[in-house]
Amino acid sequence: MYLFRNVVFAFLIISFTQCKKDNPTSDCINITQKTAYVQSLEPLSHDTLQFHTAERQFLNEIRAIANDVDVLSSAIDTTLPLEEYYTQVKSNFQQHADLVAQKADLFYNGSVAKTILARNAFVLMSYDALQRKYPEFLWTQLGVFAANEVRSGLVLALMARDVLQRNNIHIPLNNMDATDVMLESSQILIQGQIDVLKDIGSLGILNRNRGAANIKNESWLTAEAREAFRLQEQAENALKSGNCNSFMNLQTAAAIQFGAHEQIYILQPMWDNPMMQQFADLDKLLIQLTNHDVVFFGDIFIGTNKNTEATKGYTIKIPASVNNLANASQRVSIAMNGFNTLNQLRKSTTGSKWIDYSQVKIGYFYDVYNVPWIR
């Protein structure tokens, strides 16, 4: 299937539990389980099999920045109006993202492709860090896997670009060379990822530090975000009472609303870009050619790497009604399906363990999608 996907890609380039009442929070969100996985994966942060020693050390630097979550809000005056508080947290996220980009550009000697992938690594590591720090806020857990799917597409596009460049192959696409199309679309995609991280990360920190009950009626928020905080308040009340099933369902409903907010207001400007419109058309063609079996983006693999874990992980397929990523409502359908499926998976012991393990593994950047030879 993955070979077929690569072949089609090349063709398109050419042609175009029950809770315990004494400690309900721990039981409902598996804090002990998440902590144990972090401890068990610590040695992998020093792995040199996939990355050479210097690059692993650099990636550990990125992970340290991503995991420095407290500093994002620790120096902000808690008496500030909520919008200003959110804006300052968002600014601190941007500073972290800028620092990573600067470090990557220096480490990779100006390689734009490798810097793009390093910025994506920061997004993945940040979602893992946020989910472990604020597990009551579900969006970031699906965010880990969705952002990892984007990484898969980025790696594929940048790999194809590199092959074309090395072989001096020039393919015109709408008055641009295919290699330029791949690079520009990748740059747009990674900037979209950073924009979402800044927004949802800031909303999650705002939720923990100021409380959903105090946020849900803020007029500066979108209607979807206000509804999300209303549901988030209910979810956290269920968590406090030890009603795990209600907590999970309400937490999921809140995440869906946050997802709608991100897709409509943060990501739609990205998809309105003519380059991304063209990319959406290519994805639509691929969906039609394969009857939804293969897509560039839309499917969400719950696991670290679908190429090596095909029999272990779980693929949340793009809904049958979806065929146009440029359409915000269709992307909301993808998010809704993703969160609802993730919610069902995590309610089983096996699913819960696999989700937490895979999330933390991605956060350590071990066995991820990678092409070491791209320039």
User: Which residues lie closer than 8 Å to 81 by C-beta, 6 or more apart?
Assistant: none
Give the residue among 308, 302, 311, 315 at the shortest CA–CA distance from 368: 308
The structure tokens listed for 38 are 């972090």
Give dist(CA 221, CA 337) in Å, integer.
24
Confidence at residue 179, expressed as pLDDT on a 0 to 100 scale: 87
The structure tokens listed for 99 are 């620092």
For the entire predicted model, the pTM comes to 0.91
Q: For the chain, give the mean pLDDT.
A: 91
| E-strand stretches of the chain | 172-173, 176-177, 300-302, 314-316
Work out the percent of the chain whose per-residue pLDDT is above 90. 75
Low-confidence ranges of the chain (pLDDT < 70): 1-26
Cβ–Cβ < 8 Å for 254, 336: no
- Bridge partners (DSSP) listed for residue 302: 314
pLDDT tens digits for 170-220? Answer: 988 778 888 888 899 999 999 999 999 999 999 999 999 999 999 999 999
